[in-house]
Amino acid sequence: MARTIIANGTVVTATDRVPADVLVEDEKIVALAAPGSHDWTADETIDAAGKYVIPGGIDVHTHMELPFGGTFASDTFETGSRAAAWGGTTTIVDFAVQSRGRGLMEGYEAWREKADGNCAIDYGFHLIISDVNEQTLKEMDTAVEEGVTSFKMFMAYPGVFYSDDGQIFRAMQKAAENGSTIMMHAENGIAIDVLVEQALQRGETDPIYHGIVRKSILEGEATHRAIKLAELAGAPLYIVHLSALEALEEVTIARDQDLNVFAETCPQYLLLGLDDLGNGFEGAKYVCSPPLRDWEAGHQEELWRGLRGNDLQVISTDHCPFCMDEFDGLIAQKRLGEGDFSKIPNGMPGVEPRMELIYQAGVAEGRISLNRWVELCSTAPAKMFGLYPQKGTIAVGSDADIVIFDPNKAKTISVENQHMRVDYSAYEGWEVSGTVDTVLSRGRKIVADGEYLGDKSHGRYLARGTNQYVH
Ligand code: URP
Ligand code: ZN
Ligand code: ZN
């Protein structure tokens, strides 16, 4: 039996902030006590004086190896999970994809094959539904039995992942029956495609037009429609990567009506803006959907308000990296869209800096409390996706997924010191005042003293329960 004591730190959970020692036995937290008040012995004592001891980050929106836009997201489960660990994330929930014309469970099996034995941290899956039919609907039940309790659908990307309202409604009816949650990419893709075509006809081909044609009003409209369909079907609904104040308004109204409607946003929508899509083709680094929003319209400030007031419950990353230039054996993926912004693979890297970025912009700069940071990045994702209290807190009986975070150790974010498999950082040169110091995954030290100590076979598949916020 391996015993570790994390001594002299300040334990921070979603609700508490207390000086406490933490005793870990093998994979679990087995005791908490006031420093110096116990006679525990251990194989190793980690001194956390002056540091926060928080539950490991949980990123419930990643796309390792996602096939998209004629290429694949550049991080594999091996490289992406290692980068996540470096950044203090100890669990990911990734999106397995049902290919058109194939079964839902085939997608699940394919993603298990990619991840099993190749993931440094624990992992679960949502399933992307690309094709609603009788078989898919039946397989939603099988998926739930396997611990896949959430299904992503798209009102965007016609001809790729898009589902029409009837297909969405049928899947929602099934979700209402089996207790799962429908996750929605809420943008009106049909109207957006008209605007894309018209922009290209005018010769507007640069990345900035990606941000201009994907109007925030069309995210608001799709969010409204998704909420109404879910209300009628009686299904829980989770809006993914919410970026626009119009969409937040719809979620706020629904929550005020006591509906089971939830939403996440991502660091890029809080910290970056439409102007990042400018500067010629450099803006391709920032092409993701929904797009980064105009600062002047006030989306970012509204999102912070939503996070404070719990109209937004989760911060995930939508980690979906593509390289700008040839890198590590990969092609210049973003350049597939040179001369036509609609062909730029959609997505940005983000799994690694999430905890530090949100600590900086949220806690250090006074937008959210320390407890809310832990809640948004770990506890609420665990509850939303049926992993709590195994994950998402520091408590007796919970997995020893623990991050020791140093609030006084600054660093500069850069492509030079990151670990994601991509040739740029969207936050190049940004200063953060607190950083991840030590990371434990189920009791095992996987990052310490500036070194990676994990391995790709450590992560375990998590069969998840259903959404613990549903009432
Ligand atoms: O641009 C994005 N968001 N790429 C990943 C796919 C998705 O829609 O989440
Ligand atoms: Zn999406
Ligand atoms: Zn995504």
What predicted TM-score, i.e. pTM, was given to this entire model?
0.99
> Helix H segments across 272-423?
299-309, 354-358, 370-374, 380-384
Q: Which atom of ligand 1 is nearest to the CA of 156?
A: 8
Contact 260, 342 (CB under 8 A): no
Is the peptide bond preceding residue 67 cis, with omega within 30 degrees of 0? no
Distance 318 CA to ligand 3 centre (A): 4
Residue of minimum CA distance from atom 8 in ligand 1: 289
Distance 162 CA to ligand 2 centre (A): 10
> Helix H segments across 323-432?
354-358, 370-374, 380-384
Distance 221 CA to ligand 2 centre (A): 16
Mutate to test the pocket of ligand 1, among 63, 264, 333 (most ligand atoms within 8 A of CB): 63
- Within 10 angstroms of residue 194's Cβ, the number of other Cβ atoms is 11
Q: How far apart are CA 401 and CA 193, in angstroms?
A: 43
Residues bordering ligand 2, an ion, CB closer than 5 Å = 185
Residue of minimum CA distance from atom 5 in ligand 1: 347
Distance 63 CA to ligand 3 centre (A): 6
Using CB distances shorter than 6 Å, the residues near ligand 1 are: 63, 185, 241, 288-289, 318, 320, 346-347
Q: For each of the domains in the chain, give its residue range(s) and CATH number, in order of start.
A: 56-378 (3.20.20.140)
- Within 10 angstroms of residue 179's Cβ, the number of other Cβ atoms is 15
In tens, the pLDDT along 179-227 reads 999 999 999 999 999 999 999 999 999 999 999 999 999 999 999 999 9
Q: How far apart are CA 156 and CA 171, in angstroms?
A: 16
Q: What is the pLDDT along the chain (471 residues), one digit of tens a residue?
A: 899 999 999 999 999 999 999 999 999 999 999 999 999 999 999 999 999 999 999 999 999 999 999 999 999 999 999 999 999 999 999 999 999 999 999 999 999 999 999 999 999 999 999 999 999 999 999 999 999 999 999 999 999 999 999 999 999 999 999 999 999 999 999 999 999 999 999 999 999 999 999 999 999 999 999 999 999 999 999 999 999 999 999 999 999 999 999 999 999 999 999 999 999 999 999 999 999 999 999 999 999 999 999 999 999 999 999 999 999 999 999 999 999 999 999 999 999 999 999 999 999 999 999 999 999 999 999 999 999 999 999 999 999 999 999 999 999 999 999 999 999 999 999 999 999 999 999 999 999 999 999 999 999 999 999 999 999
- From the CA of 185, which ligand is nearest? 2
Q: Find the Cα–Cα–Cα–Cα dihedral 71, 73, 77, 80, rounded to 10°.
A: 150
In tens, the pLDDT along 419-451 reads 999 999 999 999 999 999 999 999 999 999 999
Q: How far apart are CA 111 and CA 125, in angstroms?
A: 8
Q: How far apart are CA 282 and CA 285, in angstroms?
A: 6
The pLDDT, as a whole number, for residue 1 is 84
